[in-house]
Amino acid sequence: MFKCEGFRRRRKAERPGEILDAAFEAFAQGGYAATRLEDVAARAGVTKGTIYVYFPTKEKLFEDMVRSHSAGLLADADSFVAGIKGETDEKLRALLHFLYGRCVEDKRGREMLRFMIAEGKHFPQLVAEHYRDFVVPLLGLVSTMLDEGMATGKFRADLSLETVRIVVAPTLFLGVVRLIFGDAPPVDEEAYVAAHIDLTLKGLMADPPQASLCAATPVRGKRHS
């Protein structure tokens, strides 16, 4: 009896996440307009009425799905950065490889980009939240690495706030190219990533090392907004 009650409570607690996962797959396959709540319910193995218990409208379901998956991507990035070892340039190289993996190869990251582009005009508040809660913190991770490199004299001391966006931008560009054109035209992704990281690090590196400029103004400033 008690085991059955515990199982029911656990299943009820898990159900919203299962519905959000099903919604992601449904919206990714059919787009927002063409996806019906019946489609999501079928994927989740629940009734349409069950979805309404947790998400009163299709709009609310879509918004919560985007928020949930964006938060998951940022948590993964935070965890990855926390585990990176080595010199600042090695850390930045690893982070950029991670971002390429998530923006181009990983379905969750790739579809988040698609949702923002395809559905953004219908959900302006959601786009604003995504920028505030995902893009800004992500830029902040890169910004922190640039600050570290400047403080140690590894990177040039004249880096500006816009440098952070320029460092990240090519990862988004390749993601957009894949979304729009698929495999046409063909892109040697390995060579693309290698070229981006090589040019970025060469542009950032102080030559010769400028340890005397450690007190330079941090890249972060007021953070991105």
pLDDT of amino acid 225: 45
Domains identified in the chain, total number? 2
* CA–CA dist 131, 125 (Å, integer): 10
Q: Domain holding 120: CATH number?
A: 1.10.357.10
More confident call, 213 vs 33: 33
What is the tens place of the pLDDT at every residue in 140-161?
Answer: 999 999 999 999 999 999 998 8
Residues 6 or more apart in contact with residue 104 via CB below 8 angstroms: 110, 171, 174, 175, 178, 189
Per-residue confidence (pLDDT) for residue 215, from 0 to 100: 47
Residue 4 lies in a domain: yes
Buried b (16+ CB within 10 A) or exposed e, 98-127: bbbebbbebeebbbbbbbbeebeeebeebb
The whole-number pLDDT of residue 186 equals: 85
Pair 119, 82 in one domain: yes
Helix (H) or strand (E) segment spanning residue 19: helix 2-34
Q: What pTM, to 2 d.p., does this model score?
A: 0.78
Structure tokens at 210: 């400028």
Higher pLDDT, 59 or 179: 59
Residues 6+ apart with CB under 8 A from 93: 197, 201
Range of the domain at 28: 1-56
